[in-house]
Amino acid sequence: KKIRETEKSSEKEIPLLVHTDSNIMNYGIKTEKKFITEVAENRNFENSFFNFFVQGATCIINKKMKDEILPFSEKFYFHDRSIHLIAEFIGKREYIKESTMFYRQHEKNEIGAKSSVIKKILTKNYFDKRDRELIQFLYEKYNNSLSKEKKEKIENYLKITDRKISRIKRLWYKYKYKIPMNMKKQVFLFLKG
């Protein structure tokens, strides 16, 4: 129903993605804790840069999006992430604040709801290199379709994730251009670069 409403409200046919929330299930124990609500409600384009909040199992897309994503590019390292970014770049993303599934959290999840902060500091960076490459790829692919404002925001993200630029300068870009990044990722940027 939501995808039909969104299609009707759009001036032209655009790629659409509708997704919902989920409840976290830790090691077989069901909880009422939501996976993504707060971050997914933020509809600002730049919110998608450092936040992975679209789960493929909760998605529905329209035909225009299907035609846009197929065949999958080798750059699409997570299909749900790629579809999410395409919706943000050239289409529209709608979020339904309702849990439609249980998300099973386990210690080997590649993208999960929560894990050890110390383990992340030792092993992770503040951004995924593959994600930067995906955003760069989509920026180049859709450059002619992007608004000036979106282009500037993508260029700013690419500066913040450019390891050739000093850490302090990248943090300064993050604040200057108001790119949302949670505190953990800011600490990773400062400590690990």
* Whole-structure pTM value: 0.82
In this predicted model, what pLDDT tens digit does every residue of 145-176 receive, in sequence order?
999 999 999 999 999 999 999 999 999 999 99
Position 42 scores a pLDDT of: 84
Beta carbons within 8 Å of 128's beta carbon, 6+ residues apart: none
Domain spans of the chain, in order of start:
2-105+116-192
Helix axes 79-90, 129-141, angle to 10 degrees: 40
Position 121 scores a pLDDT of: 58
- Residue 144 to residue 34: CA distance in whole angstroms: 37
Helices (H), the chain: 2-9, 37-41, 63-69, 79-90, 117-123, 129-141, 148-160, 167-176, 183-192
- Residue 125 to residue 90: CA distance in whole angstroms: 28
Please count the helices (runs of H) and the strands (runs of E) in the chain: 9, 4
Binning pLDDT at 50, 70 and 90, where does residue 126 land? confident
In this predicted model, what pLDDT tens digit does every residue of 9-62 receive, in sequence order?
766 789 999 999 888 777 666 666 666 667 888 889 999 999 888 988 889 999
